[in-house]
């Protein structure tokens, strides 16, 4: 084991929060660290570790700790508060035990890189005299909003009609994350998010899954308060800079993708002609909204690929799948990266989750935003007005994007004048995203500097 320690430049333990949209960015970051000669041990909860697939070839190790719910995870807890309390208590203890185990086996840890949702991991790191780095997996603009809530500068419920924060354009209340705008809707989640900042002043690094060129102003501002560094987009290297060889050997799938059927559909379609629709891994879409999207797709008369999770299938209009089978395909899950990378895809109707947004930006696929909750409204605002990479579909007074609007937005992107400008911008962001992670790019340099500091310490 001593030999192994000598071979690596340092040893990082990467602690994940058990949700697909949060584990994947940390896994991708781990691969980048490993590529730079760092030994990485990824840590998940016992329950979630069963859904991670790891090929023999990778040298990234996988260890588990307990959240107190080994037989079912979060779903088994009475409430979010109960889950988080348990995770903090049992997680801190089992994380400490894991650190002891690794140390006793001759492979001590130098730094804990933790999902910012788990701030107690930083306390454990400091107790053991280790370095600690938080990773924020949403945009810097969104983190900035939550930070101002944490500081009490932005008071919820919101009272102002225009919100002015350093590094951000003027935002309306409806551009705020839902937990801030619709205060009281999910108080436990807002607590969890705001708690990310509770001990952040003690962190040795604060990483954000974004890239400098995308959020320059807000990154510059936040980097004055903390040792903040951009490390994204955390998308598998094989889709971007192609520098990491064993990229395919480690992944996380809650759902099984229907890759063959999707590729068969896309391979037969002309360049930029297909509408891809997905609302991510969590959000439940209202029945009425599903119906309007279904009609909007039909009316656009475009070939489409729509991901409808199994739990959402009952909400599809009756006979929709059969009646549209010549024009489109509905699948329960796909390999979204392969789909977005396919040249047949011309438009992405998305809930604007941060991973999906970054992926669309990185592949240069214009978006129609149909945000649902959380950070998605803010992301949609930036997609339309700041990055000019798509449209945010307007809703009616009931908060529904109607079929005519959905159809209009798809047509505008695919055929309209706005679409032409958006496509030009899409090309620009695609190039900048790739450059950021490629050798010597802004994110690559930040990761390299992190590793160099680890080696020195
Ligand atoms: C949640 C929140 O909804 C979002 O607002 C927040 O920014 C992150 O956490 P989620 O619903 O998981 O996000 O959406 P998103 O962040 O977009 O992540 C979805 C991930 O699943 C993406 O990486 C996407 O590539 C992947 N995906 C989605 C698939 O691989 N296949 C699919 O069929 C659909």
> What pLDDT, on the 0 to 100 scale, is given for residue 398?
95
| pLDDT tens digits, one per residue of 56-109 | 556 789 999 999 999 999 999 999 999 999 999 999 999 999 999 999 999 999
Write down the pTM of the prediction.
0.95
Tell me which of 53 and 314 has the higher pLDDT: 314
Alpha-carbon distance 109 to 111, whole Å? 6
Alpha-carbon distance 99 to 93, whole Å? 10
Taking the alpha carbons at both ends of the chain, their separation in whole angstroms is 20
Q: For 65, list phi and psi in degrees, rounded to 5.
A: -130, 180
> What pLDDT, on the 0 to 100 scale, is given for residue 260?
93
168 pLDDT higher than 50:
yes
CATH topology of domain 256-433: Rossmann fold (3.40.50)
Alpha-carbon distance 237 to 252, whole Å? 15
Length of the chain, in residues: 457
The CATH number assigned to the domain with range 10-251+436-456 reads: 3.40.50.2000
Instruction: Give SS3 for 230.
Output: strand
Average pLDDT, the chain: 93
Q: Please give the C-alpha separations between residue 77 and each of 22, 74, 165, 411, 417, in angstroms, as whole numbers.
A: 19, 5, 36, 44, 50
> What pLDDT, on the 0 to 100 scale, is given for residue 256?
76
Q: Is 375 in the pocket of ligand 1 (CB under 6 A)?
A: yes
Q: Quick check: bond before 41 cis, omega within 30?
A: no
* Ligand 1 atom nearest to 352, measured from its CA: 17
245 pLDDT higher than 70:
no
- Determine the distance separating the centroid of ligand 1 and the alpha carbon of 278, expressed in angstroms: 9
4 pLDDT higher than 70:
no
Q: Which residues contact 346 (CB under 8 A, 6 or more apart)?
A: 271, 272, 273, 274, 275, 365, 366, 413, 414
**The pair of three-digit structure tokens given for residue 422, joined into one six-digit string:** 């958006």
- Determine the distance separating the centroid of ligand 1 and the alpha carbon of 281, expressed in angstroms: 5
Find the mean pLDDT for residues 268-275: 97
ipTM: 0.98
Find the mean pLDDT for residues 429-434: 98
> What pLDDT, on the 0 to 100 scale, is given for residue 299?
96
Q: For 220, list phi and psi in degrees, rounded to 5.
A: -60, -40
> What pLDDT, on the 0 to 100 scale, is given for residue 254?
57
195 pLDDT higher than 80:
yes
Query: Whose CA is closest to atom 29 on ligand 1?
Result: 336
Find the mean pLDDT for residues 251-269: 84
Q: Is 282 in the pocket of ligand 1 (CB under 6 A)?
A: yes
- Determine the distance separating the centroid of ligand 1 and the alpha carbon of 390, expressed in angstroms: 18
Q: Is 361 in the pocket of ligand 1 (CB under 6 A)?
A: no
- Determine the distance separating the centroid of ligand 1 and the alpha carbon of 336, expressed in angstroms: 9
Q: Is 354 in the pocket of ligand 1 (CB under 6 A)?
A: yes
| pLDDT tens digits, one per residue of 346-396 | 999 999 999 999 999 999 999 999 999 999 999 999 999 999 999 999 999
Which of 96, 47, 42 has the alpha carbon at shortest distance from 68? Answer: 47
- CATH 3.40.50.2000 boundaries in the chain: 10-251+436-456, 256-433
> What pLDDT, on the 0 to 100 scale, is given for residue 55?
55
Alpha-carbon distance 7 to 124, whole Å? 26
């Amino acid at each position: 084991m001593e030999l192994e320690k000598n071979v690596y430049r340092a040893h990082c333990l990467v602690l994940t929060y058990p949700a697909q949209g949060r584990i994947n960015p940390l896994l991708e970051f781990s691969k980048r660290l490993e590529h730079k000669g760092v030994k990485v041990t990824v840590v998940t909860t016992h329950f979630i570790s069963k859904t991670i697939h790891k090929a023999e070839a990778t040298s990234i190790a996988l260890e588990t700790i307990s959240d107190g719910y080994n037989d079912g995870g979060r779903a088994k807890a009475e409430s979010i508060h109960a889950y988080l309390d348990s995770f903090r208590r049992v997680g801190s203890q089992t994380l400490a035990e894991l650190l002891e185990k690794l140390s006793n086996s001759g492979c001590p840890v130098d730094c804990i890189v933790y999902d910012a949702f788990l701030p107690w991991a930083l306390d454990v790191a400091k107790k053991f005299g280790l370095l600690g780095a938080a990773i924020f997996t949403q945009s810097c603009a969104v983190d900035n909003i939550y930070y101002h809530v944490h500081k009490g500068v932005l008071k919820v419920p919101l009272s102002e009609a225009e919100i002015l924060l350093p590094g951000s354009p003027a935002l309306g209340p409806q551009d705020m994350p839902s937990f801030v705008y619709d205060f009281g809707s999910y108080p436990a989640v807002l607590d969890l998010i705001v708690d990310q900042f509770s001990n952040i002043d003690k962190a040795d690094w604060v990483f954000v899954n974004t890239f400098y060129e995308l959020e320059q102003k807000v990154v510059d501002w936040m980097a004055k308060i903390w040792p903040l560094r951009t490390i994204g987009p955390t998308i598998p290297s094989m889709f971007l800079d192609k520098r990491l060889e064993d990229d395919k050997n480690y992944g996380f799938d809650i759902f099984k993708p229907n890759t063959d059927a999707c590729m068969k559909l896309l391979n037969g379609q002309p360049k930029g002609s297909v509408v891809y629709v997905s609302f991510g891994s969590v959000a439940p879409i209202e029945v009425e909204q599903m119906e309007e999207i279904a009609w909007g797709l039909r009316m656009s008369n475009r070939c489409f690929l729509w991901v409808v999770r199994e739990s959402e299938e009952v909400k599809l209009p009756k006979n929709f799948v059969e009646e549209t089978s010549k024009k489109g395909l509905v699948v329960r899950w796909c390999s979204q990266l392969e789909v977005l990378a396919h040249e047949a895809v011309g438009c992405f109707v998305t809930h604007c989750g941060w991973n999906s947004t970054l992926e669309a930006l990185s592949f240069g696929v214009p978006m129609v935003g149909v945000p649902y909750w959380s950070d998605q409204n803010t992301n949609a605002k930036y997609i339309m007005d700041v990055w000019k990479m798509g449209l945010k579909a307007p809703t009616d007074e009931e908060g529904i994007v109607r079929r005519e609007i959905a159809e209009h937005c798809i047509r505008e992107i695919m055929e309209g004048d706005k679409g032409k400008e958006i496509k030009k911008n899409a090309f620009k962001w695609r190039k900048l995203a790739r450059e950021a992670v490629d050798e010597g790019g802004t994110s690559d340099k930040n990761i390299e500097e992190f590793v160099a500091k680890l080696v020195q310490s």
